[in-house]
Amino acid sequence: MKLQRFTICFFLLLLVAAGAFAQGTTGALTGTVSQAGAALPGVTVTIASPAQQGTRTTVTNGEGDYNFPAITPGKYKVTFSLSGLTDIVKNTQVNLVETTRLDADMKMSAVTEAITVTANQATVMETPQVQTNYKQATVNQLPMNRNPTAQANLSPGVTGGINGASISGAMSYDNLYLVNGAVVNENLRGQPHALYIEDAIQETTVLTGGISAEFGRFTGGVVSSITKSGGNEFSGSVRDSLDNPKWTEKSVSTQADPVDHTNNTYEETLGGRILRDRLWFFVASRQSKISAARTLTAITTLPDPTVGAYTVSTNSPREEYKLTANLTQKHSIVGSYLTNNVKGDKNCQIGCLDLRSINTAGVQNPNNFKTLHYNGVITNNLLIEGDWAKKYFAFVGFGGNTPAHQANPTAAYLATGSPLIDQLVTGATANAPYFCGSCGAETRNNKEWELKGRYFLGTKSMGTHNLVLGYDDWAEQRQSNNFQSPTDFRYDVRFNVPKQMPDGTVQIALKGSANGSADRFLYFPVAFSSLGSNLKTTSAFFNDKWDFNQHLTFNLGVRSDKNDAVDSAGHGVSKDSAISPRVGVIYDVFGTGRLRLDANYGKYVGRLAETVSGQGSAAGNPATIRWAYSGPDTGYLDSRVALQQAFQWFLDNGFTNRAIISQAIPGFNSKLISSGIQSPNMKEFTFGAGTQIGKGYFRTDYINRKWQDFYANFTTLAIGTVNNPATNLPSDLSLIGNSSVPSRKYWGMQFQGQYQLPAGFGVGGNYTYSKLTGNVEGETSGGGPVTYGSTSVSYPEFQNFKQNSPVGFLAADQRHKVRGWLTYDLGTRIGHFNAGLIQRYDSGTPFSASQAINTCTINSAGNCVALNSTSTNYPDGSTIPTDPLHKYANVPTTVTYFFSNRGQNRWASIMASDVALNYELPIRNFAFFAKAEVRNAFNHQAVTGGNTLVLTSQNTAGLANFNPFTQSPIQCPTGAPIATCTAMKANYQLGPLFGQANGTPTTFSQGGNYQLPRTYLYAIGARF
């Protein structure tokens, strides 16, 4: 009943709506008709497809050219007719976000019977875009996850980034993910939301370079998927995908036995007609309740892995509703609605060291989007498109559930509800969940509408032009009061490494001191409630695909993006604008489409980052105030006993014993520059060659990219200080803006090909050789985009030395990536068999030996002198000003130092062979199917991440301080006693587990420190 009511209401909405977005929902078909080598005008070209309602017709112009823009991807029958000539019927495939060329040579004939031929595979490089297309029917047969993210990872030029896929060297947050034309990126980290049902996807196209001006607000790539639309004939499917933690081998023999529990993911689809060629429907659903084993983050090795293990149950029901209406023969509208409301019974934020830091009250992520797409043929040469999309996403219940913001808090209340962070080894949480689950929901939404026109212009001497002119209105909103905990406090352990106990708790030893090694209190008050941010970008774009002659094709595009954004307090944060040219040329060597060369230049402007644009707003954003714990040292105590003692010291004596180390107050000592921020951008050059070989193709592309105008946080003597009116204490003023001091560069060679062999065999694959270098990652794991604040940009007297932020290999750098696949089809009397193989190879990713060191100066005796002593110089040797308005109020007590070159070390390479066997048994109009998969069939093992701890004076007594401006650090041999290090006056030592996996591996996910071991997966179902 729910489905029926929604379908009726949705159809009524479509009939009255005039919504206006076709980024990634259509393809195009173009070509030339000739006779005996001469252009043939006046030919009627008609296209028909099961994916399209009715037929579309056009007539070739004076140069014999025709064009069908913005048509639904699918298989097409194309009929060419002209009186006195024999009709020609050709079959071809139109792919998503691609242009297919189909030429015809007509002949004189006395007979009326048409000639029917099947077109060869579409010629390569019809447009400048570096792209790969995946039909979901093929993906379903391969041993891989069937979602758009997995298909992107199968493509060349895509590597693992900090928070997801890095496409051609970009930050992982800066890609564009589309489903039915709707942007499904999460607002902060840019990761794609799972707003799809795998069996409902029709196809996915991945764009990694040379991308059209129709796409904007990214500097990486585009992953665009479209779902099925139903049709004149009824079709549907049911599927049950099965997995079990027990079906995954152990990464190490000491790993605890996983839970033996089979998880079922059910999918159902149904599509067909309500009115033939006028109104189609498609509905789909997916039910998944997954029980997954998790382990606590291990500092070294958990004393009892069975205590550290816990189970998380996640319920993820998804539904899709889609209608396609042909209002007239020339006007159509498509509407879709997709929802994924996730519920979980447990949640861990920022890693969990103990069971107390796990939220057991339950969490929710309601998530959905709505889209409308209008397509209208005005004349044979003019088509209008309009689109509208809106997405909703929320966090409910994430974090601690202690009553929030208690007035007159006691030490016991603060000890119970405040998380602590291990700042020495893992950076993970203990004692209480991070963030606040009792402080209200957070929403992250977006909306967009777009209108564009496509015009086909043919000329006698200047070739043909496919012209696109459009306007795009985009906005994303966040409504959040970013409470870090229910108590607004956190305790940082900075000297004594926490101990994990067999009962699932953590013990800590308090360290009280006035130096930088002391533990710290952090206070995160939110002074003003958020009004909701609104980051708006309006864009105009133009693109001309100009086929000058049979040898030369030009792509002339330009995009204009203008930001008009306000933060959570309603203040303007960005009013910048940028022009992005996208130009290229394709040279067809033989004029037949068999061999083409291209060269392109493009500029891409990224979307505004919520995490950066809102830093200067006091509304909804917490201040950060740090105090050193200067109370008595203790032995190891239960975390809550220890914290109660620490907070009691904090509350005693009327707070007179607390000295503020540093403070950052949004809107007060952290502000955006007066002109506001601008979107970072990237410039790209590509060169490519492609050839069609029989029933296959091969192409190679060189991509060179350079990013600029990075987000940055400026804190210098010239900027000065401000006084806090509440405390009358000075604070250093930080300005948020853009800088080109950071560096990020990428170049790569991407090779890809595919070929259909005889006897049912098919082969395909790609290889990428690339380098990503620079000194800015631009994002943090789990945190999304961040500002650059190193070297000369922030506290240069403390940080402007080479090893603070050296140029080297960045986290997403991967030298070699190989993906090869082979399929084999075999029809028998007892059914149809299909075998699929994917061979994967990923060379190791980089990591560095870096750590925080204490800031100091070196006196004449060679000793480190703290800056609050009688020293009159900063670490770089410059004199400390005496004027309080022009010297730092809160100098950094630690700075980052790279003891190795950036990215000097590499984790192990990954190699795996994945195998799938599919079986289908047709019975009348039905077909029953089964699929068995083996991932990593030969069970190759590799450590893909782990411990990078470096011991310094900041975290280990006995190691000497040093001045990073004037001294080179002395290394103590790994494993040597600290007494030996002290005797040799060593400054650092690689941790005992440096370069090794941390603790117990994740049981059955590819995350963690180990390659996914051999894993078995199964699926059964039926389709009609």
Nearest to 134 by CA among 183, 89, 97, 83: 97
How many H helices and E strands in the chain? 9, 68
Structure tokens at 365: 């992520």
Q: What is the DSSP letter of 648?
A: H
Average pLDDT of each block of 10 consecutive residues along the chain (1024 residues)?
41 34 73 88 93 91 90 93 89 90 83 58 76 92 95 96 95 96 94 96 96 95 96 96 93 80 95 96 96 83 70 94 94 96 93 94 95 94 96 96 91 97 91 95 96 93 94 97 96 93 94 74 93 97 94 96 95 95 95 92 96 91 90 94 95 73 83 93 97 90 98 95 78 94 97 90 96 96 91 96 97 97 94 96 97 81 64 86 83 92 97 97 94 97 92 91 94 96 96 82 50 96 96
Q: What is the pLDDT of residue 298?
A: 84
Find how far residue 1023's CA is from the centre of its chain. Answer: 33
CA distance 732 to 882: 15
Amino acid type, 975: G
Q: What is the DSSP letter of 116?
A: E
Q: What is the pLDDT of residue 706?
A: 98
Structure tokens at 486: 């229910």
CA diameter of the chain: 108
CA-based end-to-end distance of the chain: 23
Q: What is the pLDDT of residue 580?
A: 97
Q: What is the pLDDT of residue 709?
A: 97
Q: Which residues pair with 688 in a beta bridge?
A: 598, 701
CA distance 291 to 177: 28
b (16+ CB within 10 A) / e for 187-216: bbbbbbbbbbbbbbbbbbbbbbbbbbbbbb
Q: What is the pLDDT of residue 147?
A: 95
Q: What is the pLDDT of residue 999?
A: 60
Q: Which residues pair with 895 in a beta bridge?
A: 853
b (16+ CB within 10 A) / e for 445-454: bbbbbbbbbb
CA distance 931 to 834: 9
Find how far residue 186's CA is from the centre of its chain. Answer: 9
**CB proximity list for 966: less than 8 A, separation 6 or greater:** 858, 877
The percent helix, strand, coil of the chain (3-state, each to 5) is: 10, 50, 45
CA distance 731 to 885: 10
CA distance 123 to 93: 11
Strands 533-547 and 464-479: antiparallel
Residue 510 in contact with residue 563, Cβ under 8 Å?
A: no
Q: What is the pLDDT of residue 654?
A: 65
Place of tokens 């080479």: 802
Structure tokens at 599: 């060269």
Q: What is the DSSP letter of 259?
A: P
**CB proximity list for 973: less than 8 A, separation 6 or greater:** 980, 989
CA distance 755 to 766: 12
